[in-house]
Chains A and B, each alone.
Chain A
Amino acid sequence: MTDQVLYAQLLYGGSGIILVLLGLWSFLVHAALLRKLIAINLMGAGVFHILVAIAYRGIDTPPDPVPHALVLTGIVVAVSATALALAFGKRLDQVDD
């Protein structure tokens, strides 16, 4: 049972780490603002994956609620930051024209 929990945690956490790395790579390599924004969101999704994996404690036991609350907070902050960044990008485009 504990092995199963560990494998699930490693699978989810490992995918989260891969998502973070892919996002970081895209953020560093691509110049376009929109691609950077998507990259940051991808990194955020990876971090949420890792937090949810840490909170997991088996299918029958309730998960650790503290990382779950952190993920909810993180999603809200990510959405607001993305919206603000999109508005900035739109305004920058208008100035360029």
Chain B
Amino acid sequence: MIRPLEHILIPLGLLAVGGLLGWSFFLAVTGDAGERLAPIALARVPDSGVSNPVTSVLLNFRAYDTLLEFAVLLAALLGIWSLGSSGTGFQPAASVLDGMVAGFVPLLILSAGYMLWVGAYAPGGAFQAGALLGSAGVMLALAGHRNAGLPSEGRLRILVGLGVFVCALTGLLLMLFGDGFLTYPAGFAKWLILTIETAATLAIGATLAAAYLGGRPAAHPTTGETA
């Protein structure tokens, strides 16, 4: 039987929305582009301290936005923690999976370091590196490590706050020296970006792994560990 809302009204409305979206998208890509941000951003990339345009937009031109992004991740994790403690986790893995995890986790950490460094001049950066670290944590959790290889709660709190802390502190110190908030002085930009990205990588990786556990870490991280 045909329900009028689900089978007629909503699809018709969606078709109308799709038509509008398609039309405006077509106009956006065919019409006169006008003054776009891309030429301005690409022209200023040599001054930004890194040669990868995406990284220079993220960590230099729109660094403010990236700081708030770290804050979003932190807020989501705090929300998850406030909902209760994590479950008992998965049971310890059999030797084959355990051996595979033992091989893959160091590789993931190495690739995260590579991703962080290569982000200065090629696709990569703090978020990709953090995602790799986080996936290492997820792998450990799936293999039965109850805390996904994360440190005890006190240290974990420092780790997940590191991104926001280092980014905001850098911005405030730059203000003290007379530059704007997160406006890097010429010559220092590369090292400041690298510092922020390193802290952010650790924070993002820890946050993603901790979010995967789905609650506050258990009080005794050693119990339930397989290694």
Residues of B within 8 A of A9 (CB): 29
Q: What is the interface residue range for chain A against chain B?
A: 35 or more
**Complex: how many Å from CA A14 to CA B21?**
9
| A91, closest chain B residue (CB) | B83
Q: Does A80 lie within 8 Å of B211, measured CB to CB?
A: yes
Q: Does A21 lie within 8 Å of B14, measured CB to CB?
A: yes
Residues of B within 8 A of A73 (CB): 58, 65-66, 69
- B residues neighboring A (CB under 8 Å): 6, 10-11, 14, 17-18, 21-22, 25-26, 28-30, 36-38, 41-42, 45, 53-54, 56-58, 62, 65-66, 69, 72-73, 75-77, 79-80, 83-84, 125, 127, 204, 208, 211-212, 214-215
| B207, closest chain A residue (CB) | A80
Q: Does B69 lie within 8 Å of A65, measured CB to CB?
A: no
Q: Does B14 lie within 8 Å of A90, measured CB to CB?
A: no
Q: A73-B65, A87-B215 are in contact. Are A65 and B29 (CB under 8 A)?
A: no
Q: Does B66 lie within 8 Å of A65, measured CB to CB?
A: no
A-B contact count (CB 8 A): 109
Partner of B58 from A18, A57, A69 at Cβ < 8 Å: A69
Interface flags for A34-71 (1: CB within 8 Å of B; 0: not) read 00000000000000001001110100001011101100
Given contacts A14-B22, A69-B65, 7 further A-B contacts (CB under 8 A): A21-B18, A21-B21, A25-B10, A72-B58, A73-B69, A87-B214, A88-B83
**Complex: how many Å from CA A90 to CA B91?**
20
Residues of B within 8 A of A84 (CB): 76, 79-80, 211
Q: Which 5 A-B pairs have the closest CB atoms?
A: A80-B76, A65-B53, A64-B38, A83-B211, A69-B57
**Complex: how many Å from CA A83 to CA B53?**
30
| B58, closest chain A residue (CB) | A69
Partner of B208 from A20, A69, A79, A94 at Cβ < 8 Å: A79
- A and B contact pairs by CB, cutoff 8 A, 24 listed: A6-B30, A9-B29, A13-B25, A17-B18, A17-B21, A20-B21, A21-B14, A24-B17, A29-B6, A54-B28, A55-B38, A65-B53, A66-B37, A69-B58, A69-B62, A69-B65, A72-B54, A73-B65, A75-B127, A83-B211, A84-B76, A84-B79, A84-B211, A86-B214
Q: A62-B53, A66-B41 are in contact. Are A76 and B72 (CB under 8 A)?
A: yes
Q: Does B14 lie within 8 Å of A24, measured CB to CB?
A: yes
Q: Does B69 lie within 8 Å of A77, measured CB to CB?
A: yes
Q: Does B37 lie within 8 Å of A28, measured CB to CB?
A: no
**Complex: how many Å from CA A24 to CA B34?**
31
